[in-house]
Amino acid sequence: MEIKRDRANCTIELSQEQYIEQILERHGMADCRPVSTPMAQNQKLTKLAEPEIDAQEYQRALGSLMYAMLGTRPDIAYSVGILSQHAAKPGEEHWGALMRVYRYLRGMSDRKLVYQGAKGESKSFPDPVCFVDADWAADINDRRSISGYTFIMSGGAVCWSSKKQKSTALSSTEAEYMAASNATKEAIWIRTFLSELGQLTSGPTTLFIDNQSAMALAKNAAFHDRTKHIAVRHHFIREKLEDDEIDVHYVPTGDQTADVLTKGLSREKHERFIAGMGMV
């Protein structure tokens, strides 16, 4: 990882350009034709009963991407998460989708996360905010939903996640509610960490959600018939709301930065949302 600090402009930049160039060369994609997004819109990958290609080669190429995704590249988090589900039994279609991510990195190897510090005498961190989203029943193999969230501080993403939910949501409201519950767990960890650094303010951490029904469910303590099937572990979000540790705010879907962590998007949306995570 390369770290650049610009004291005059109060910025810190994180990138892995050299590493990405190495893996492009290693997997024979150094001279490939670039594409503008890591995964095609509406692409659905079917699970296979038996592998069609060398699984070890697929896993090596996928593992190289995973290291970059965990370090500085939240823009490929969704693609890597989806492709990881087929690592045991990959097929030609999966390999093609995997190589598309490399083609995307070919044109975007120099992308970096940029954090903007406060000028002057301020030594405190800005409060983190979280964008959280879910794509209901997105997996065509088991109809489970994809959760995504990202926490932003100083204008850049400090953590991100794109994962398939562990249980099947029966509605988009339930899928968004479960995603918000997972984000709340991360929010509590971040708040604890900032508290240990002496940087936690007294206010709650804001979660931006684009589903008003999920917000109402989080704020309403009434346990009625339509929510009894939701696992009890997800309802702790209500407790954290009451304790003023988190707060939920509505954000229009067109401004939902976490959307890029739940599905393949058009070039325009992909660029807008990764810019929202501080990637330039």
Q: How far apart are CA 47 and CA 85, in angstroms?
A: 8
Same domain (yes/no): 138, 262: yes
Helix (H) or strand (E) run with residue 237 in it: helix 236-242
- Note whether 238 and 130 are same-domain residues: yes
Q: In what order do the strands lie in the sheet with 112-116?
A: 2-6, 11-15, 112-116
DSSP structural state of residue 168: -
What is the number of domains present in the chain? 2
Pair 187, 256 in one domain: yes
Are residues 265 and 36 in contact, defined by beta-carbon separation less than 8 angstroms?
Answer: no
Residue 154: inside a domain: yes
pLDDT at 223 over 60: no
> How many angstroms separate the CA atoms of 192 and 139, rounded?
34
Please give the single-letter amino acid code of residue 86.
Answer: H
Same domain flag for 258 and 216: yes
Q: Is the pLDDT of residue 12 over 90?
A: yes
pTM above 0.75, yes or no: yes
Domain span at residue 229 reads 125-276
Regarding whether 133 and 272 lie in a shared domain, the answer is yes
* Amino acid 126: pLDDT: 76
* In-domain check, residue 119: no
Same domain, 59 and 87: yes
Q: Could you read off the pLDDT of 121-141 as tens digits, one per residue? A: 666 667 899 999 999 999 999
Q: Dump pLDDT digits (tens) for 143-197.
A: 999 999 999 999 999 999 999 999 999 999 999 999 999 999 999 999 999 999 8
Tell me: do 49 and 135 sit in the same domain: no
Residues 137 and 260 in one domain: yes
